[in-house]
Amino acid sequence: MQRNSLTPDEKLLLARVKAQLQAGHSRSELERLVQQRTKDLTESEQRYRTLVQMSPVGIVQIQVTDAVVRWQRMRGRRD
């Protein structure tokens, strides 16, 4: 005699297995996104750093409070 339906316990177990598989997939996808965005940010920071370091003019970054956050001296200038 063959059974065509699952028992309530089997249905619960199947639902748990599916949830665990989905959670694992979601964690993997999230980790992939974090790695990609970290790589993108690192590359962007390097481009910005190179731009500032190679700039022939001084660069100043000021916050809303008018505090000088960072500045880059003009190339060749001595203080």
* Domain contains 3: no
β-sheet bridge partners, residue 68:
62
27 Rama sector, left if φ>0, alpha if ψ -120 to 50, beta otherwise: alpha
Q: What is the total count of domains within the chain?
A: 1
Question: What does pTM read for this prediction?
Answer: 0.55
Residues in CB range of 52: below 8 A, 6 or more apart? 59, 72
* Domain contains 52: yes
Owning domain of residue 18: 8-72
Stretch among 37-41, 45-49, 60-64, 71-75 having the lowest mean pLDDT? 71-75
Across the chain, mean pLDDT equals 83
* Domain contains 77: no
Question: Greater confidence, 6 or 74?
Answer: 6
What pLDDT digit, counting tens, does each position of 42-57 carry? Answer: 999 999 889 888 888 8
Instruction: State the residue for tokens 């949830």.
Output: 19
